[in-house]
Structure 1
């Protein structure tokens, strides 16, 4: 299977996968390390890890770099991130001696949105919030994914109901049938915390302030005792399955 994918990568600008190929991968590859080793052997360098520098990202990046120190990483700088997120970016970059590709939204799109709807438009309606996410996150992400054969996430099944059926390998229908790889999909929040402590990983200091899920500064708050770990994301909205649009299945 691996050689077949390598030939495709050499012969095409972007490799497209079929559902049959994805099903075969999910039936034979079960662990995080196996998945990332397969990705390194078959997709590198046209694969990259998307990182928002939360707890899950700390774990996945560490495992990836133990397998392949040349793995690629990128992040979305929306222009509204907390200072703590910028701090951990530099800490991680220096610790592992890696380059992190930083993606920015289109300046003109942001200027037009702010001119029409204001700087804090996201508080006014769900549609406004989704528009802001689309311009600041989804559009720059789309540009990156259009150059890749696959991308790696930190998704876990127990994060939201929308993610309950996520598998390690998936087809990304919104980006030309490239592979979406979710290597820690079966991990629990407790396992994430244990790995960070056991391996003494650098992590976003907001985690110690009650932020288990980290996004843009004005759209994220600390959670209260007993709340769902994603309750602090877009905290003024009532829907418990809130997403920014990066992980929507476009099938």
Structure 2
């Protein structure tokens, strides 16, 4: 079954009702409020919920704080007090262990085999059993899911060894591209859905070329774009790939606080301090 068809079936099933709890638990993918189906499939729209359906508090208001810690690690702090470290390798981390960490396999700078035992949820972006990683986790006010992509390995491509992690909280859809090695196809975009905030590697070739990465960014059309994983080319080389339809700003701080109500009106590439 193709990825696109599988996502379509899941979203159609969701119309019959799914219940979720605020406690940490594995939840079916149809809990997503950000997931969309490609426009090529008629009569299918963004997933939504009826008034009688219990869902995690991702639709509530509140502000989310995002802090760049280094390399491709961001700290996401939710209104409900959940802390999440992306591409966690144990080197870049907050002063206290986060609630959740996500990891990717491409390089040791994106994972650790010995995470702090105080971390409640360790989510690997790859599967160890030959199957793709499949995360659908509700932790208090955040819903976390993943979409797998491939990585270069041994002269070829290793399937499903990278994950794009998506965090749905306070009505926001936040996506981290991980160590993305190839452009996305229609099935990936359908599985990802809407992303209001996008964390994107801008190394210019260690992941993939700047032109290819810019096409992914333009296709996703997120309101707030946070560069990360900069190695080699200056940030200006990445910014130059975008026309007047994208705003740019170099921040004086490593953190940004945002909510669904104060997203930029036009896509903004916002370079946090330290990138």
Higher helix share: 1
Same fold (TM over 0.5): no
Higher strand share: 2
Normalised to the residue count of structure 1, the TM-score between the two structures is: 0.30
Structure number with the bigger relative contact order (C-alpha 8 A, sep ≥ 6) is 1
Normalised to the residue count of structure 2, the TM-score between the two structures is: 0.28
